[in-house]
Amino acid sequence: MLILVVNCGSSSAKYELFNVEKETSLCRGAVERIGEQTSWMVYHPSGKDQTKQKTVCPDHHRAIELIRDTLVDAQKGVLKDVMDVMGVGHRVVHGGEEFNQSTLIDAKVMKSIEKFSALAPLHNPPAIEGIKGCMRIFQGVPQVAVFDTAFHQTMPEQAFAYGIPYKFYKKYSIRKYGFHGTSHRYISMKAAELLGCPVQDVNVISVHLGNGCSIAAVAGGKSIDTSMGFTPLEGLLMGTRSGDMDPAVVTFLMRAENIGPEEMDGIMNKKSGLLGISGISNDMRDILSGLQEGNARARLAYDVFVYRIKKYIGAYAAVLGKVDAVVFAGGIGENVPEIKSEIKRHLRPMLGSACEFLTVRTNEELLIAKDTYNLVKRSA
Ligand code: ADP
């Protein structure tokens, strides 16, 4: 059964086509720089070289058309007909408190995703455009929404409530939601597999370190706490996001620099983190080169990054009581073994000798494809 996975961001539409029964990826790619004068169509069939060509793509509807045309291209495409696709799975960032699992998309679900755009104004609108595009282009093919927030809906209220007047939770739904849920679900399942135990029997601290970074305490396959919050800004230091800080810094800076909420938002989301501290880059590879060259601010950025991961693991060990594995994933988690080594050396006495320190390659797309497959099969 062929399942297409679509992940629409503000200026990109990534896709991957899976044969879910065989757990194989047939091809993947992206339309990049949507809405700019020159866009790119990237196509990468499994086992072959990637091609990248210039194109014009004003919006996500056109992006989905370009993806369809690439998939059924007579020479290089992998599909004979769009109707060979049995389901399309969409990554949707925010499902609010309404969705604790993936769901088939109908008019009611679309309305809810639109409603949650208020909570994720940068993320849900492009996903909606992608879904609408796919409904038009893959007519009659079931569409499934897989939410970043869904996995964390098992968090107890004591973990997700903020210490502000309760009326704001009621009025604006302000609470911790957590993100990267599909990745943390995949990582904790994979960890259980590596430990040779049913997922219900293991406690895992899942550490996702990519451009965005988050960490989750997963007890018996259920998320009970996570570092990202109302938005993806809370928690660990990230490529360009500040992570945790005293919220009074925000009001202080807005007054001191005479800046409005949009600019402040941009500082915290796009100019902070590894980039903000180092002044060099948001990319860990550049920070590591900076360390080699003895750059003091690259050293500070790296140290803050690692220190905060240690603190969160300590906190989540306290929350879980017993930890069977600490699992690293994401571009940094998978490629910078010295971070795992340092954390392991430091935390081993606290976590005990039975706790494993693992690295897994996260695969959110595969999990989206599997959820889509299961829902489509069940509904057929
Ligand atoms: P995203 O969150 O966008 O999916 P990734 O999971 O690909 O991002 O992670 C991107 C981060 O991983 C960047 O900071 C990048 O520097 C880092 N990274 C990727 N490959 C390496 C590597 N070989 N060595 C060090 N860091 C790496």
Domains of the chain as residue ranges with CATH:
2-147 (3.30.420.40), 198-359 (3.30.420.40)
Residue with tokens 């690295």: 359
Q: Which residues carry out catalysis?
A: 148
Which residues have C-beta within 8 Å of that of residue 119, sequence separation ≥ 6? 94, 96, 173, 177, 230
Q: Judge if the beta carbon of residue 348 lies within 6 A of ligand 1.
A: no
Q: Judge if the beta carbon of residue 331 lies within 6 A of ligand 1.
A: yes
Q: Judge if the beta carbon of residue 330 lies within 6 A of ligand 1.
A: yes
Ligand 1 midpoint to CA 209 (Å)? 8
Ligand 1 midpoint to CA 282 (Å)? 10
**CB-CB neighbours of 332 under 10 Å:** 25
Instruction: Tell me how far apart the alpha carbons of residues 114 and 117 are, in angstroms, rounded to a whole number.
Output: 5
Ligand 1 atom with the shortest distance to the CA of 284: 16
Distance of CA 141 to the CA centre of its chain: 25
Q: Judge if the beta carbon of residue 276 lies within 6 A of ligand 1.
A: no
Which residue type, as a one-letter code, is found at position 156? P
- Alpha-helix residue ranges (DSSP H) falling in 173-220: 181-195
Q: In tens digits, what is the pLDDT along the chain, a chain of 380 residues?
A: 899 999 999 999 999 999 999 999 999 999 999 999 999 999 999 989 999 999 999 999 999 999 999 999 878 888 888 889 999 999 999 999 999 999 999 999 999 999 999 889 889 999 999 999 999 999 999 999 999 999 999 999 999 999 999 999 999 999 999 999 999 999 999 999 999 999 999 999 999 999 999 999 999 999 999 999 999 999 999 999 999 999 999 999 999 999 999 999 999 999 999 999 999 999 999 999 999 999 999 999 999 999 999 999 999 999 999 999 999 999 999 999 999 999 999 999 999 999 999 999 999 999 999 999 999 999 98
* CA-proximal residue: ligand 1, atom 4 (nearest): 210
